[in-house]
A and B are shown apart, each in its own frame.
Chain A
Amino acid sequence: MTEPPLLELKGITKRFPGVVANDHVDFELAPGEVHALLGENGAGKSTLMNILYGLYHPDEGEFRLRGEPLRIDSPKAAIDAGIGMVHQHFMLIPVMSVAENIVLAVEPRKGPFIDLDAANDKVRDISKRFGLAVRPEARIESISVGMQQRVEILKALYRGAEILILDEPTGVLTPQEAEELFEIIRSLQAEGKSIIFISHKLGEVLAIANRITVLRRGKTIETVPREGATEESLARLMVGREVLLRVEKTPAEPGEPLLTVSDLRVNDERGLEAVRGVSLEVRAGEIVGIAGVDGNGQTELVEAITGLRKPEAGRIVAAGEDVTAEGSREALDAGVGHIPEDRQRRGLVLDFSLAENIALHDYREEPDSKWGWLYPKRLIARAVRLLKEFDVRGGGPKTPAASLSGGNQQKVILAREISRNPQILVAAQPTRGLDVGAIEFVHRRLVTERDEGRAILLVSFELDEVLSLSDRILVLYEGRVAGEYPPTVSEDELGIAMTGGRREAAVA
């Protein structure tokens, strides 16, 4: 670097009870660059950025801004230093307008009142300057997630951010929205802003970053320029070993249909029709992937199939049994396994021990219990075996599920569902929030189960996942199947179908 780095983090160390989240981390940001911070979940990326944003206080280490020492001990100090952060979970007030959210706490005033016109004008100005098209008067709750993210970015820019931290920004976006975000990042860069881009996705890091710093277990592993970096090399740096990025699988050998859904209609919480006549079939030994943007009926479809929600019309036949109007117990008994999309709300009783969680479906049957009498020792014995088989770390059978990491929680769910030997496995967002190593584990396991002859229905918002695992892909748009595609379909084509661009099916 010829010019001094804009921002320097030197020897940042942060200890939490029992763990070192950041261990002498070094990081530097050149003016006008997009610098990616890459690492698995738990590698310390968010901790580092929270320190930079003043949310945590480091135990050791120093910051330098344009070569000058800088002390940041609150978000206010960070903002004053020109650092802005867009959190993964947006911090917006849904009932207020775009402009109101952006000027929040720094409102232009007219006497004791907020000068809304001035606010709208300012927001319009700033959004024009950076090419972020938003309507200042729109209410947050009525705009798309991608738009909300722009509002978050504008909020940071409005506060004078020169350095923008984007924490896993693409996690909530469709491929098209992600592409638009990249455009925005490029135009911000052209305006001279510097960007720290946090991600655990290799592809997007390679697409947008100038330099990439990899963190692993709280330590800086290496900073590499984009030129010459490959997904494989980055994955190796991230995980510390060779990782299989492509899911290895043989062509499917589909058998008889195990799950048949015909003309299914399901309402959502508010009584609105969320699934509008879906028909699909999953055969033994194949993975059928459902692609789609969040909120297009996936949740309701999965809940209907697994007996958690009563359909309004249609028919569900699981392994030869009509389970349409039955409850979750009947679906379980018919041989439907379910990896729920929200493992903390649905999949686990967080305050139960792992042994109790593993028994969640079978506690009523022998050997777990007999005549209503529970045998905790047998629960524990089975848990010991399964925790070992599924390589669950971070706790034993008596550990509460809440104290495990997300990846290990997911392994507990997998262990429970697969060990019941279901004929049909419904996997909803099975790798959401997991790191590369855990994703690899889950993916391999799903393929193994497919090869065992199970029928697997995979629902995911991650296109990569759907594409690499599925033998057939269905796109769900506004509660309808918008097309069926082979796994060779391009991401773009799927993306268009996911946003309702085209209805007719490509050749299967």
Chain B
Amino acid sequence: MSSSTAPAPPAPDEPPAGSVSGLQAFYERAGGFLVPIAAAFLAFLIGGIVVLITEKSISAPFEAYKAIFEGTGLTWFIPGGDTLEEARDLQQTLLITTPLILTGLAVAFAFRCGMFNIGGQGQYWVGLLVGIWFGTHFDGTPPVLHVTLTIIAGLLAGAVWGGIAGLLKATVGAHEVISTIMLNWIAIWVGKWLLEAPDGFLQGSDPTLPRADNVLDSAKLPAIWGALQPLHAGIFIALFALLVYHVLLNRTTLGYEVRAVGFNPDAAAYGGISVRRNYFLALAIAGAFAGLAGVIDLVGWKYRLTSTEFDANFYGFTGIAVALLGRNKALGILFAALLFGALQVGTSPRQLDPEVFNPELATNLATMIQALIIAFVGAEFLILYLWRARRRVGYRPRRIRVEGA
């Protein structure tokens, strides 16, 4: 760039289109959380319009959102009302928020190293499956030790699953998007086989059911709030993981390397950083977060796994939305996970009065809003591009006027 660049006009400085590192650099520069908030708001607005059309009533969207909001238990923070009911709902919201924080971190950490980890779902399952084995064995181990051991095993299993994709990228250059997606399916089908096949390895004591036994009591996390399906101590682990994520990235040499590779692999290599090693490590650490999500769900409240759940549980995928909306920042991920967790609980049919709006619409609305948020966050490029284009019009009016006389 040896042109005599005058003070750069705010014109086109788009990052290399399509590259993850370019996207990250763009996020860093765009700064602020205005866009994610706008994206969420827009998604709710469109969701409301859909409710309006299907229910053919002006007040329907407001009633629906009110019902959803009340269903999330977030009203617990507002004095008054049925505190017991609200508390129960809030416990459920936080119960879902816990794995979402961790799967969000799994996507975010890889993202900071310039990679798109679509494998959170598979890493979640592998953590959970390995957790089953550890949780149902070692009877007689002291409780604290057993649950710690189980959680660490699940975490490491996730790390291995993510690490495979990392190793493939580092050695033969296999693109992580492809390999993590394939590893998802491997995890799901191996999991089904382990639970369903006659005498499946993880199948429980009833050979007619495709499910594992409950983990032993000594492998369960303690409940901290509530009675029926209570909130468990796993939320502290998730919050701690957020802290670890932040500190790891910003206060360690490993995080420095990961960020350098994520922003600019060429400069990182020039700085003496092994780009391949960081690809591997970043995906392994990302996998560890997702594996942790799986095993904590297991020892926190699921206790066992039925093979039908493979088709119904998408915490790993929702993690992508969490990371995108949370802009790969610890605090952002916390709030994004809470939003998606609340949305899921608030729209679950059992929370809603069918008089207000029908249960099918309720669950579908949650999925729709989630998808819209992802679409809008993904469309940030577009939104900001249009924004800048609007400003640029000042410099480049389209009309041509040649005034002569």
Q: A: which residues have CB within 8 A of B?
A: 16-19, 21-22, 39-47, 54-57, 68-74, 76-77, 80-81, 88-89, 167-168, 171, 198, 200, 218, 306, 308, 327-329, 332, 338, 340, 344-352, 356, 359-361, 363-364, 369, 372-374, 376, 400, 402, 406, 432-433, 435
Q: Is A352 touching B402 in the complex (CB atoms < 8 A)? A: no
Find A433's partner among B3, B7, B253, B256 (CB 8 Å cutoff): B3
Q: Is B256 touching A351 in the complex (CB atoms < 8 A)? A: no
Find B270's partner among A88, A338, A435 (CB 8 Å cutoff): A338
A-B contact pairs, 20 of them (CB 8 A): A16-B10, A41-B4, A42-B4, A43-B6, A54-B396, A56-B395, A74-B396, A80-B400, A88-B2, A168-B2, A328-B270, A344-B1, A347-B267, A349-B259, A350-B263, A352-B260, A360-B271, A369-B253, A372-B253, A400-B28
Find B400's partner among A21, A77, A406 (CB 8 Å cutoff): A77
**How far in angstroms is the closest Cβ of chain A from B172?**
17
Q: Is A327 touching B253 in the complex (CB atoms < 8 A)? A: no
- Beyond A329-B273, A338-B270, A400-B28, 13 extra complex contacts between A and B, CB < 8 Å: A16-B10, A21-B6, A41-B5, A42-B5, A42-B6, A57-B395, A73-B397, A77-B400, A89-B3, A348-B267, A349-B268, A361-B272, A372-B252
Give the CA-CA distance A475 to B255 in the complex, in Å: 43
**Assuming A57-B395, A73-B397, is B267 touching A40 (CB within 8 A)?**
no
**How far in angstroms is the closest Cβ of chain A from B356?**
47
**Assuming A200-B4, A363-B256, A374-B255, is B271 touching A16 (CB within 8 A)?**
no
**How far in angstroms is the closest Cβ of chain A from B326?**
18
Q: Is B394 touching A372 in the complex (CB atoms < 8 A)? A: no
Q: Which residues of A contact B66 (CB under 8 A)?
A: none
Q: Which residues of A contact B266 (CB under 8 A)?
A: 345-346
Residue among A56, A68, A361 having the largest count of chain B Cβ atoms under 10 Å: A56
Q: Which residues of A contact B25 (CB under 8 A)?
A: 350-351
Give the CA-CA distance A21 to B396 in the complex, in Å: 17
Is B140 in contact with chain A by the CB < 8 A criterion? no
Find A329's partner among B250, B255, B256, B272 (CB 8 Å cutoff): B272
Give the CA-CA distance A374 to B8 in the complex, in Å: 34
Is B29 in contact with chain A by the CB < 8 A criterion? yes
Interface residues of B in 319-374 (CB under 8 A from A): none
Identify the closest chain A residue to B259 (Cβ): A352
**Assuming A56-B9, A351-B25, A374-B251, is B264 touching A345 (CB within 8 A)?**
yes
**How far in angstroms is the closest Cβ of chain B from A24?**
15
Identify the closest chain B residue to A340 (Cβ): B270
6 tightest Cβ-Cβ pairs between the two chains A and B? A433-B2, A47-B6, A360-B271, A329-B272, A19-B7, A77-B400
Give the CA-CA distance A340 to B208 in the complex, in Å: 67
Give the CA-CA distance A459 to B1 in the complex, in Å: 17
Residues of chain B at interface, number, CB under 8 A: 46
Q: Which residues of B contact A350 (CB under 8 A)?
A: 25, 263-264
Give the CA-CA distance A200 to B29 in the complex, in Å: 31
**Assuming A57-B395, A347-B270, is B4 touching A71 (CB within 8 A)?**
no
Main secondary structure of the interface of A (DSSP, over half): loop
**Assuming A45-B4, A46-B6, A47-B6, is B402 touching A70 (CB within 8 A)?**
yes
Find A46's partner among B5, B29, B397, B403 (CB 8 Å cutoff): B5
Give the CA-CA distance A372 to B281 in the complex, in Å: 14
Q: Which residues of B contact A44 (CB under 8 A)?
A: 4, 6
**Assuming A77-B400, A352-B260, A433-B2, is B394 touching A57 (CB within 8 A)?**
yes
Q: Which residues of A contact B7 (CB under 8 A)?
A: 16, 18-19, 21, 42, 47
Q: Which residues of B contact A73 (CB under 8 A)?
A: 396-397, 399-401
Is B398 in contact with chain A by the CB < 8 A criterion? yes
Find A77's partner among B4, B259, B263, B401 (CB 8 Å cutoff): B401
Give the CA-CA distance A47 to B8 in the complex, in Å: 9
Give the CA-CA distance A306 to B266 in the complex, in Å: 13
**Assuming A332-B272, A351-B25, is B405 touching A46 (CB within 8 A)?**
no
**How far in angstroms is the closest Cβ of chain B from A440?**
16
Identify the closest chain A residue to B397 (Cβ): A73
Q: Is A373 touching B252 in the complex (CB atoms < 8 A)? A: yes
Q: Is A17 touching B395 in the complex (CB atoms < 8 A)? A: no
Identify the closest chain A residue to B8 (Cβ): A16
Q: Which residues of A contact B394 (CB under 8 A)?
A: 57
Q: Which residues of B contact A55 (CB under 8 A)?
A: 395-396
**How far in angstroms is the closest Cβ of chain B from A383?**
14
Is B274 in contact with chain A by the CB < 8 A criterion? yes
Give the CA-CA distance A209 to B252 in the complex, in Å: 57
Q: Which residues of B contact A54 (CB under 8 A)?
A: 396
Give the CA-CA distance A16 to B9 in the complex, in Å: 6
Q: Which residues of B contact A372 (CB under 8 A)?
A: 252-254
Q: Which residues of A contact B404 (CB under 8 A)?
A: 68-70
Q: Which residues of B contact A373 (CB under 8 A)?
A: 251-253
**Assuming A77-B401, A347-B267, is B3 touching A167 (CB within 8 A)?**
yes
Q: Which residues of B contact A40 (CB under 8 A)?
A: 4
**How far in angstroms is the closest Cβ of chain A from B31?**
11
Is B182 in contact with chain A by the CB < 8 A criterion? no
Q: Is A74 touching B397 in the complex (CB atoms < 8 A)? A: yes
